[in-house]
Structures are given as structure tokens and as C-alpha cells.
């Protein structure tokens, strides 16, 4: 499309905004700052100038760059103003983005599962050591050190099956021997390619293994292509489109012939779905696959569970009912909805590394609202949200633990009788 054609198209879309402000209470950055330029409406007003001018105002570029890209505003807007407009502004603002809170060589390796796997014990030990040396409030006491801010958000699953069972036994009052779910004797639910994802594979490998066990118990035949790679989202969002395209080509080859791909992290799923040069097979979120599956019997748990929807699931893929349906399929589970359920937790992938303090504030806000439901447990289905909210819960000194939703399902399966 010509430059003029593109400009006309953008102006047409911009005119759709009637400045009603209905999107504001759904925008995490506006809720945290109360600043109009940090709202969808404010950003749209800045966008025209930013796209027109050769040297736009740095403050306008900064306001656009601080948009998390959560898409909550798109869903809330009655006039149908598309998020793609703000995305265009973000691309223009990328040059004004601050340096991420991590050194370049570390940042560039975050989409390598091997690097993350090596980082996991170091990060866990680092978190434990800081808690030991600086006390429970180490996150706040060392708040000025950006690397510490990031360390506090590294997602940490329950780890071994025994740790998960011990944690949930304590919450539910269950006890006694248990057995991991067995693959269905006659797997008839069809084949599934398993997309491992860097963060899940590197940081939450036990959760991934348990999910595969659950899928096999539900009758799926799982294959995990060894030559698959990162979905490319991090490279695309940190100004490395060439690497992102190479990764997508690798995944296209790795999953050639796969009917469906099951994806654990919502961010990876959205990335795989939205790029034409990615895998040809349909990428489906694990929560959606499980919600439509014939699950093994589940135990009665008697838990009040608050659910946090990752933005890339809720706004990016329209996944809202499935996690709730799954939770309600566990007898005795009561599903609780926090206020501002549609608002981003502040993880935002690479965004959280550029704006660690704003990200932290959003994580704390989300943690407070989730804890205010009175839940025994919080569940989510994205590693970034898991780490961000766990950090917020620790900073706010509030109790309910947070777990991957699929870990809770796995536990309900192993505690079922017979
Ligand atoms: S809800 Fe839509 S029309 Fe209203 S201010 Fe926000 S973007 Fe504009
Ligand atoms: S995408 Fe999210 S952070 Fe950005 S303007 Fe919309 S609601 Fe706010």
C-alpha cells in the first residue's frame, strides 16, 4: 500500500475514536498512573502527530512505548478502534524505548530454552539467598537494583510432583499415596504436536511434563518435535525481526504434518496463530484443548480458586470460558473473579524488562485484587503472569499461592479415587 493509502487508512481508523473514555478503566497503565497520556484515548490522540512528524515529541513516543500491548482497550471499545493502530504507534516509538533492565547479551539469550534451563537453578538460589540475607522484604529493600527487580519475577513452579502434592494436600486436607495419571489404554483423542516454549521448557519443565501426562491420560497421542524452537515473540518485540522470522521457519519445518499443536503459554500461542510464515498446523492453547477433552476422573477438592487470565489468552485469543469450565469440572472447586479481571498484570514479556518499576506496581495491584477475593489458591496459564503475580503477592505479603492451572488439574486427577 502507498504511503498516502496507508495514511488515509490510519486516519479513517483514528476517526472511529469518539473520545468517550470507556476504555480507560480497562487500561493497566492508566489505572496505575492516572495520566491521560498513559491511556488508550490519550495515546490515540498522540498517534496522529507521531506518525506525521519526522521528529516527534519524545514524551509522545515514550507514552506510546509504555503501552503494554495487552489489547484490553480493543475489547472495551464500543466504536471498534483496533489495537493495530496503537501497535503502529509502538513500532514508531521503538527507537525511543529505554534500555531493558538486563544487559543485551542476557536479553538476547532469553529465547533459548537451554539458557533458561541453566538460569533456573541460579535464579531460584538467588531468590532464596536474597530472602535469607535481606529478609522477606528483599524485593523492596533492593528495589533500586533493576536486576533484582527482574530476578524477583522469574517464574517458579512447584517443581517436583512431591512438592506440588504437598502444597495442595496442605490446602485441601488430602493425604495418602497417589499415582501419576496413566496414558489412556486406547488413545483415541487424536495426535497433538506439543509446542514446548522457551519459558515453559526452561523454567517450568515439571509443569510441562505433568501437562503432557494429563493430555495422554485424556487419550491424546503427543509428539514433541526435537527440532522446534522459540515462537519468535521475544525476538520480534526486542527489535530482531530477522531472528524471529528464522525461528518461525524452523517451527514450520518442525511441525510440518502435525494436525494440531498444543501450546502451553498464551503469548506463544498468539504469536504462532498470528504470523503467516509460522507452522501450518493450527496452534491451540492447552487450556482450550483440555476443556474439550475427556479428562480422567477428578477428585473433590473443596477449594476457592481465583483465576487470572493472561491478556494474550483473554484479549488475544478470546479464551475466557475454558479456564472457568475446567475449574468447575473439578468437584468442590468454587471459582472466584477478582475486580479488574480484564486488566493486565504488568508482565508484558519484554515490556516488563523495559519498565520494571511500572510493571512491579501493576503486579502488586493485581496481587492485591486477587487476594481480596479470599481465594485459597490463584491459578493462571502463562509463565510471565505466574512470575509477575507471585512477585506481587510476596511484596504485598498476602497468602494465597499461585499455580499453573494445569498443575491443579493434574493434582485433582492424581487424588481421584479409583
Ligand atoms: S473506548 Fe474507543 S472510542 Fe472511546 S475513547 Fe476509547 S478508543 Fe476512543
Ligand atoms: S493495549 Fe493495554 S496498555 Fe495499551 S493502551 Fe490498550 S489497554 Fe492500555
Query: pLDDT tens digits, residue range 96-140?
Result: 677 776 667 777 777 887 788 888 888 889 988 988 888 888 888
| Cell digits of residue 389 | 503475580
Contact at 8 Å (CB) between 412 and 330?
yes
Contact at 8 Å (CB) between 166 and 414?
no
Residue 219 has pLDDT above 80, yes or no: yes
Q: Which of 368, 375, 355, 417 is nearest to 146 (CA)?
A: 355
Residue 60 has pLDDT above 90, yes or no: no
- Which of the listed residues 14, 23, 78 should we mutate to test ligand 1's pocket, taking the one with most ligand atoms within 8 A of CB? 23
Ligand positioned closest to the Cα atom of 33: 2
Ligand positioned closest to the Cα atom of 44: 1
Q: How far apart are the two ends of the chain, measured CA to CA in Å? A: 62
Q: Which of 9-13, 287-291, 352-356 has the lowest mean pLDDT?
A: 9-13
Q: Which of 295, 237, 287 is nearest to 405 (CA)?
A: 287
In sequence order, what DSSP letters do the residues of 8-64 get, joined into one string? HHHHHHHHT-----TTGGG-HHHHHH--GGGSHHHHHHHHHHHHH-SS--HHHHHHH
CA 36 to ligand 1 center in whole angstroms: 13
Nearest CA to ligand 2 atom 8: 27
In sequence order, what DSSP letters do the residues of 330-379 get, joined into one string? STT-EEE--TTTTS--S-TTHHHHHSHHHHHHHHHHHHHHHHTTT-SEEE
Contact at 8 Å (CB) between 64 and 92?
yes
Q: Which atom of ligand 1 is nearest to the CA of 20?
A: 4
* Average pLDDT value over all residues in the chain: 90
CA 71 to ligand 2 center in whole angstroms: 6
Contact at 8 Å (CB) between 78 and 20?
yes
- What is the C-alpha separation between 276 and 109, in angstroms, rounded? 25
Distance of CA 135 to CAs 124, 132, 205, 392, Å? Answer: 15, 6, 28, 16
Q: Is 10 in the pocket of ligand 1 (CB under 6 A)?
A: no
Q: Pseudo-torsion of CA 288, 292, 296, 302, nearest 10°?
A: 70
Nearest CA to ligand 2 atom 6: 73
Contact at 8 Å (CB) between 319 and 309?
yes
CA 73 to ligand 2 center in whole angstroms: 6
Residue 151 has pLDDT above 90, yes or no: no
Residue 147 has pLDDT above 70, yes or no: yes
Nearest CA to ligand 2 atom 2: 70
Burial of residue 293 (number of CB atoms within 10 Å: 0-12, 13-18, 19+): middle
Residue 144 has pLDDT above 90, yes or no: no
Statement: the pTM of the whole predicted model exceeds 0.85? yes
Q: Is 27 in the pocket of ligand 2 (CB under 6 A)?
A: yes
- What is the C-alpha separation between 37 and 206, in angstroms, rounded? 42
**3-class DSSP state of 261:** strand
Ligand positioned closest to the Cα atom of 86: 2
Going along the chain from its start, the domains and CATH numbers come out as 3-96 (1.10.1060.10), 104-151 (no CATH), 179-291 (3.40.50.1860), 304-414 (3.40.50)
Q: Is 88 in the pocket of ligand 1 (CB under 6 A)?
A: no
Instruction: Mark 253-265 as b/e (b = at least 16 C-beta within 10 Å).
Output: ebbeebebbbbbb
CA 340 to ligand 1 center in whole angstroms: 18
* Cα atoms found within 13 Å of the Cα of residue 376, Cβ hemisphere only: 17
* Cell numbers 503501552: residue: 67
* pLDDT score at 2: 56
Q: Is 15 in the pocket of ligand 1 (CB under 6 A)?
A: no
- Which of the listed residues 27, 42, 81 should we mutate to test ligand 2's pocket, taking the one with most ligand atoms within 8 A of CB? 27
Q: Is 86 in the pocket of ligand 2 (CB under 6 A)?
A: yes
CA 38 to ligand 2 center in whole angstroms: 8
Q: Is 102 in the pocket of ligand 2 (CB under 6 A)?
A: no
Higher pLDDT, 399 or 7: 399
* pLDDT score at 339: 98
Q: Is 86 in the pocket of ligand 1 (CB under 6 A)?
A: no
Instruction: Mark 161-174 as b/e (b = at least 16 C-beta within 10 Å).
Output: beebbebbeebbeb
CA 26 to ligand 2 center in whole angstroms: 8
Q: Which of 195-209, 361-375, 402-416 has the lowest mean pLDDT?
A: 195-209
Burial of residue 62 (number of CB atoms within 10 Å: 0-12, 13-18, 19+): middle
Amino acid at each position: 500500500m502507498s504511503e498516502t493509502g496507508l495514511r488515509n487508512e490510519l486516519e479513517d481508523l483514528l476517526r472511529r475514536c469518539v473520545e468517550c473514555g470507556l476504555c480507560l478503566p480497562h487500561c493497566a497503565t492508566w489505572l496505575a498512573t492516572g495520566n491521560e497520556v498513559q491511556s488508550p484515548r490519550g495515546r490515540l490522540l498522540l498517534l496522529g502527530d507521531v506518525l506525521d512528524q519526522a521528529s516527534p515529541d519524545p514524551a509522545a513516543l515514550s507514552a506510546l512505548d509504555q503501552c503494554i500491548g495487552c489489547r484490553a482497550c480493543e475489547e472495551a471499545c464500543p466504536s471498534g478502534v483496533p489495537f493495530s493502530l496503537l501497535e503502529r504507534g509502538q513500532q514508531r516509538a521503538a527507537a525511543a524505548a529505554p534500555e531493558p533492565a538486563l544487559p543485551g547479551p542476557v536479553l538476547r539469550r532469553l529465547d533459548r530454552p537451554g539458557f533458561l534451563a541453566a538460569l533456573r537453578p541460579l535464579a531460584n538460589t538467588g531468590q532464596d539467598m536474597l530472602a535469607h540475607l535481606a529478609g522477606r522484604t528483599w524485593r523492596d529493600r533492593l528495589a533500586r537494583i533493576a536486576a533484582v527487580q527482574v530476578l524477583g519475577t522469574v517464574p517458579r513452579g512447584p517443581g517436583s510432583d512431591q512438592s506440588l502434592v504437598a502444597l495442595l494436600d496442605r490446602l485441601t486436607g488430602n493425604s495418602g499415596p497417589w499415582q501419576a495419571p496413566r496414558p489412556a489404554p486406547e488413545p483415541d483423542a487424536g495426535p497433538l504436536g506439543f509446542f514446548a516454549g522457551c519459558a515453559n521448557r526452561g523454567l517450568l519443565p515439571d509443569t510441562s511434563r505433568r501437562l503432557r501426562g494429563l493430555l495422554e491420560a485424556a487419550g491424546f497421542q503427543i509428539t514433541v518435535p526435537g527440532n522446534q524452537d522459540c515462537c519468535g515473540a521475544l525476538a520480534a518485540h526486542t527489535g530482531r525481526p530477522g531472528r524471529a522470522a528464522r525461528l518461525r521457519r524452523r517451527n514450520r519445518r518442525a511441525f510440518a504434518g502435525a494436525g494440531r499443536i498444543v501450546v502451553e503459554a498464551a503469548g506463544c500461542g498468539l504469536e504462532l496463530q498470528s504470523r503467516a510464515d509460522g507452522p501450518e498446523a493450527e496452534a491451540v492453547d492447552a487450556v482450550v484443548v483440555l476443556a474439550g477433552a475427556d479428562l480422567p476422573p477428578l477428585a473433590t477438592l473443596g477449594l476457592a480458586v481465583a483465576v487470572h487470565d493472561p491478556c494474550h489468552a483473554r484479549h488475544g485469543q478470546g479464551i475466557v470460558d475454558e479456564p472457568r469450565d475446567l475449574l468447575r469440572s473439578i468437584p468442590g472447586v468454587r471459582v472466584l473473579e477478582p475486580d479488574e479481571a480484564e486488566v493486565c498484570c504488568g508482565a508484558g514479556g519484554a515490556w516488563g524488562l523495559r519498565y520494571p518499576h511500572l510493571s512491579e506496581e501493576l503486579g502488586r495491584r493485581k496481587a492485591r485484587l486477587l487476594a481480596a477475593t479470599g481465594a485459597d489458591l490463584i491459578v493462571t496459564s502463562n509463565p510471565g503472569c505466574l512470575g509477575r503475580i507471585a512477585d506481587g503477592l510476596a511484596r504485598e505479603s498476602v497468602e494465597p499461592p499461585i499455580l499453573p492451572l494445569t498443575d491443579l488439574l493434574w493434582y485433582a486427577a492424581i487424588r481421584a479415587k479409583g
